[in-house]
Amino acid sequence: MEKRLRQRAVLPVVAACATAAVVGTPVAVAAPDGTFAPTAASVAIGHLVATTGVDPARAAHVLAVQRAGAVRIHDLDRRLGARAAGGYLDPRTGSAVVNVLDAPSAELVRAAGATPRAVRYGTAELKSVQAALELVPNTSAGLDPRSDQVVLTVSDAAPPEQAAGLLDAARGFGDRVRVERARGVFRPLVYDGDEISDGQSVCSAGFNSNKGGQNYIIDAGHCAQGLPYWQGIGPTEDARFPGTDYSLIRNDSGDAPGAVNLYDGSTQPIAKAGDATVGEQICKSGRTTQVTCGSVQALNETVDYGDGQTVRGMVKTDTHADHGDSGGPWYDGSTGLGMTGAGDTVSVTWFQPLTAAIAAYGVALNP
């Protein structure tokens, strides 16, 4: 009986974005390109009101405009090139703030409709500091453009002597590094003790995609180690973990909608992929914690889980997730952002950027 229950636990997860026909297709809620479906919007607005103090109407406005601001930030980052210093979204307005190192950069940012903010350090310098920090298990480091710093996160589960050495090295970089504390072990969010190769493991499906007339699911790499066959779906064709954290599962079920299960009979349509931005209000879906929302805290994070498992290029959030949510989709309205990677199951969760997986596999998201 235990095996049967666990198999059934996997199927609704896959139905979240891939094979809803297996267990009954959720009723889609119409949502125009760029907007949150009602269920996700309600959770995201609640988070924004609680963390910023804005009223619900202002929070709804932030959700409506923030993706345009995020696109503007990433475009300006590319245009500034070596002069780039990062950018973030103002959580109270959703507008783009772009860090600058000189007057010409400020003029460029203003002309593009964003707000320039003078900072001391640029992206290149902070990345060099990040690379110099030799992480130990249960620590991470990434860039926070809001403070113009590298944020070093150290869990209380980190080996004490190694953590002390890392913190001592961090102090040598002065105000270029900020230390934050976390609780618990950093690890991929798959149920402990389950073996993904035997069909028992509980993960969540990511994003439906296609290439050459074949449907696929983009998922977390750590879920698909050993290239298991997913019951009712199909085989895993590729899995990459550690280093990065994405996989490609062949979807032979005949059902692959471009929508995310919101676990109340409705779905969030996904129209395109995009890159996350610090300060962006985002949501995730997963079979364990269902729909939870929060904000992006840092980009390009390197996370050390221990045992030689280090992943780079992750996005750090303050959103709750738990075991079984691994692989589940993260989104800003109809823009897909990534797949759940790891966390401390309390308040820190990382996701693998979706755009990197799409580029690696040459697939397109399903409409």
> How many CB atoms lie under 10 A from the CB of residue 119?
18
In whole angstroms, what is the distance from residue 105 CA to residue 125 CA? 17
**Does residue 23 or residue 364 have the better pLDDT?**
364
Tokens of 132: 């110099």
The residue from 155, 247, 253, 326 that is catalytic is 326
Q: Residue 346's closest CA among 180, 185, 109, 206? A: 185
> How many CB atoms lie under 10 A from the CB of residue 308?
8
DSSP characters for 223-291?
A: GGTT-PEETTTEEEEEEE-SBS-EEEEE--SS---SEEE-SSS-EEE--EE----TT-EEEE--TTT-S
Confidence of residue 226 (pLDDT cuts 50, 70, 90): confident
pLDDT of residue 345: 83
Statement: residue 47 has pLDDT above 60: yes
In whole angstroms, what is the distance from residue 124 CA to residue 94 CA? 26
The residue from 144, 245, 304, 332 that is catalytic is 245
pLDDT of residue 190: 66
Q: Which CATH architecture has domain 2-38+189-365?
A: Beta Barrel (2.40)
> How many CB atoms lie under 10 A from the CB of residue 297?
22
In whole angstroms, what is the distance from residue 116 CA to residue 104 CA? 11
Mean pLDDT of the chain: 88
CB 19 within 8 Å of CB 233: yes
pLDDT of residue 145: 97
Q: Tell me 180's DSSP state.
A: E
> How many CB atoms lie under 10 A from the CB of residue 107?
12
Rg (CA), the chain: 20
pTM of the model as a whole: 0.88
Domain boundaries, the chain: 2-38+189-365, 54-118, 125-182
Coil vs helix vs strand at 198: helix
* Tokens 């929070």, located at residue: 59
Q: What CATH number does domain 54-118 carry, 3.40.390, 3.30.300, 3.40.50, 1.10.3470? A: 3.30.300
Statement: residue 217 has pLDDT above 60: yes
In whole angstroms, what is the distance from residue 270 CA to residue 222 CA? 23
In whole angstroms, what is the distance from residue 181 CA to residue 290 CA? 26
Q: What percent of the chain has a predicted confidence (pLDDT) above 70?
A: 88
344 flagged as catalytic? no
Confidence of residue 14 (pLDDT cuts 50, 70, 90): very low
Average pLDDT over residues 38-44: 96
**Does residue 1 or residue 60 have the better pLDDT?**
60
Coil vs helix vs strand at 134: coil
> How many CB atoms lie under 10 A from the CB of residue 336?
29
CB-based contacts of 332, cutoff 8 Å, min separation 6: 36, 66, 67, 70, 274, 276, 280, 281, 282, 283
pLDDT of residue 154: 97
Q: Tell me 349's DSSP state.
A: E
Coil vs helix vs strand at 185: coil
Q: Residue 330's closest CA among 242, 249, 270? A: 270
Counting beta carbons within 10 angstroms of the beta carbon of residue 348, is it exposed (0 to 12), middle (13 to 18) or buried (19 or more)?
buried
pLDDT, tens only, 111-158: 999 999 999 999 999 999 999 999 999 999 999 999 999 999 999 999
pLDDT, tens only, 242-301: 999 999 999 998 889 999 999 999 999 999 999 999 999 999 999 889 999 999 999 999
pLDDT of residue 197: 37
245 flagged as catalytic? yes
Average pLDDT over residues 57-76: 96
pLDDT of residue 191: 52
**Does residue 364 or residue 2 have the better pLDDT?**
364
Pick from 17-21, 119-123, 224-228, 233-237: least confident: 17-21
The residue from 222, 322, 323, 332 that is catalytic is 222
pLDDT of residue 31: 44
Q: Which CATH architecture has domain 125-182?
A: 2-Layer Sandwich (3.30)
pLDDT of residue 323: 87
pLDDT, tens only, 147-204: 999 999 999 999 999 999 999 999 999 999 999 999 889 988 765 443 333 366 778 8
